[in-house]
Amino acid sequence: MSPRRAENGRFGISAVTSAVLPGVPEAAGMARAVVLQALASHPAADEAALCVSELAANAVLHSGSGLPGGTFTVTVELAGTGVRIAVTDAGATTRPRVMRPSRGRTHGRGLAIGDALSASWGWGCQRRGGSRTTWCEIYPESANGRAIA
């Protein structure tokens, strides 16, 4: 499955929180804490925390951020009722994609979770520095995260 793109102009940013975290497995919990603190009582806080946890785990497992001394950045953006969660890592040689793992596998479900909970998601790479940003947008007005038009 490929990333879903946000509608043009739908996401006008009104507030931003950002944190640089170490590229260690425990940082997924730190990323959740950043999101939950930034969103406090926002109706999409739980979904956003779950999504950022998966994006952070992917940054540590599948990018240079997981190397000794590596870091990644978590960004939380608010716009109206919507939330945009982004993780910028040190880059990788592979593209983020939704996997369909077998029952016995314990990995490979992160982007599928983000895809199910978000209205849209995607990724992009910076030519300079080689960083990669993976993001998702969540709107609380629908039960499954899909924005109601």
pLDDT single digits (tens) 22-34: 999 999 999 999 9
Residue 99 included in any domain: yes
Domain that holds residue 49: 15-138
Residue 147 included in any domain: no
pLDDT single digits (tens) 18-74: 999 999 999 999 999 999 999 988 898 988 998 898 899 989 988 899 999 999 999
Residue 117 included in any domain: yes
The residues, any chain, with a CB within 8 Å of residue 126's CB and separated by 6 or more, are 91, 132, 133
Confidence of residue 105 (pLDDT cuts 50, 70, 90): low
Domain with residue 95: its CATH number is 3.30.565.10
The residues, any chain, with a CB within 8 Å of residue 39's CB and separated by 6 or more, are 45, 48, 49, 76, 78, 83
Residue located via tokens 């590596």: 70
* pTM metric for this prediction: 0.74
Residue 144 included in any domain: no
Residue 26 included in any domain: yes
8 A C-beta contact, residue 63 and residue 89: yes
- Per the rule left: phi > 0, alpha: psi between -120 and 50, beta: everything else, 80 is left
Distance in angstroms (rounded) separating the CA atoms of residues 67 and 55: 16
Residue 3 included in any domain: no
Residue 4 included in any domain: no
Residue 79 included in any domain: yes
Please tell me the total count of domains within the chain. Answer: 1
Q: According to the model, what pLDDT value does residue 82 have?
A: 87
